A and B are shown apart, each in its own frame.
Chain A
């Protein structure tokens, strides 16, 4: 069952080929077999089997939806009532939330079965899943390589067929980049499309939750289950959630206007196999009737430096709540209040988190605010205006998701700026609040290559339709690594 999509598993459950309890048991066994991937931080077998029993009962009553009885996993950044939520950090040692995140509530209500919480870069800060307090995740295609980050545990779990889908969050590319590096499909929705309530905050004007799965059709099913208005997140948009899956059938790549940014094509440091896979993918779309044209995003090159001012600034503020007083890690025998704060934070946070807090503190400090933070927000507007101009003449923008395939574990760990450039093609999307997805588009040296498609605000339906159309033409999304390694 492990190589089936949500849509296929739903049909198997419907036809009585298996029950959700059987499917959940098989899922938990497979996760144990693949323990060396380190994809999970916490497993919840007892509650999963109880949820599966409830799903089977709902199905027997004729109340099943597309997610009823389907095993999924949540990135450990989503609060789960009664289940440890660590955000990949020692700082949240012993934290068991008394409530569910909106996304968890929604998917639970849709009948999905939560089997556990996936590993991630600490506080979602990283592009390789090497900054987790719980150790690095391995890429199932090559266990010596990273799975990408920060949703690397979710990506590895889906890629190796441990679960058909998982949740992720994307602040600068943290769904799309690991999706690309592990050969799965991952969608970052429009900012505000999915409530951020109950997600441990990193950079509030950029964070967005989204689905990771093995096909565009499954992303559509998951997004429909996750999205919706929630008054508890003041940045969440009150707008009806379309039936994204139904929209797939209505979207045709014929006549689709696809923009290729020359800045992405001409960018330095892009692997040859990535370039050729992306070229082949856009050629396949053209042959299927899409109209492909070159466009320009002149400020795209500034996206990474803008991000590395804004995201750390927001993080330094959001992470100030972890002070050793209220919950989470607390140092031993503090001498005074300042010592309590400093040592709790110094011992509880890992190096990348400390680095970003310090960059953010510096950028917001008196005398530097205008030069860094205000300047970054001005350039952010220019980046957004580039996209707005582009969408006057195209429906979607295509390009690589990541400049390289999965890189070796440890190879960029000591060079933060090089690591930051892993997200060079994804970050601008977060700055502009746009939806974007990554789908598999080939291989380079045995490792997956991702194709990124970017859409205009709230045009997830069109994006998923384009991705689904591409997946009807190719079978890259059907390729699976061996879990046995």
Chain B
């Protein structure tokens, strides 16, 4: 008999998790190359003693929306944005990880690193060394890094068939179980950064929706509690018979 309450609760806990997700999207509106996420819901069928089945709500997944952000000029030599579906390859010392946040720096050994200090890889999976001799560094759309006429290396850019298998690792990094393929449809833009793809309007709408849905479930729970109370009262009193 209390099924309605449990179904309501399943919806409320799913909504609370989605609120955390929307909060994370909104917190990252200014994070370079951030990809927003949406929650997936589905019914979860449960057998009852009666004929019909009951559907609980479960939030069975989050999906990362890989829609590209807009490119913003920054004028910095080592800010590189990717136009197209590609990812840079970085090495955190344990495994290769992938990122679209091209806000790179140099470490004390003159190697190209990400904001987290992970090494950026070249097409031979080696770190990229930039000599400190004052020559202007140019990065061409295909990733070739050159200082004047001398070619210093080439940034590794990879693409994936199934972006749904990519998992976030924080610090703009992604991890995947899929093997990367060399980029074909991606071009690099030096002196640019990709902005976050969070849209204020859609997040705000979702926020209102979550709050109202939560209130709706609460009203339903109130009514259900009232129904139980009145039925207990009526059935329990001798006049009811």
B partners with A: no
- A-binding residues in B (CB < 8 A): none
